[in-house]
Homo-oligomer: A and B are copies of this chain.
Amino acid sequence: MNIKQFSELTQVSAHTLRYYEKIGLLKQVNRTANGHRSFTAKDIDWVGFIKRLKEMGMELKKIQQYADLREQGDSTSEQRKQLLEEHVVVVENRIEVEARNLDKIKQKIQYYNKIIKN
């Protein structure tokens, strides 16, 4: 499958796919005789996986670490789990901050309700 088809299938632009390869997120992508990238079913899974981690708000650098661990095989399961557990803390902290922000804005809105009434 060429980059255009793969791009449509994964909903990731060809530009971004090349970028992911450049920064080492996509490794050992097959090439045809003329040097064009040739993607496989495995690559679909892999990009799907990257997308899921991204959706979780994980940075590409962290995803790369994860990718490296995964490449090393089953022996790194524990490390990958730890990486995810670190990310839980990140997301939990973010939620806390957002909740506080929400409170603050609502207080400010209350203030406006008061001064607008009077």
Contacts and interface: CB of A to CB of B under 8 A. Distances in A.
A27 interface: no
A101 B98 CA distance: 14
A99 B55 CA distance: 12
A85 B55 CA distance: 26
Summarize A's interface: helix, strand, loop or mixed: helix
Interface stretch (A5-13, A38-46, A109-117): A109-117
B105 A84 contact: yes
Given A78-B116, A101-B55, A108 B95 contact: no
A57 interface: yes
The oligomer's copy count stands at 2
Contacts of A109: 81, 84-85, 88
B88 A105 contact: yes
Contact of A102 (B80, B88, B102): B88
A37 interface: no
Given A55-B101, A56-B105, 8 more contacts: A57-B98, A77-B116, A91-B98, A92-B102, A95-B95, A95-B98, A95-B99, A98-B98
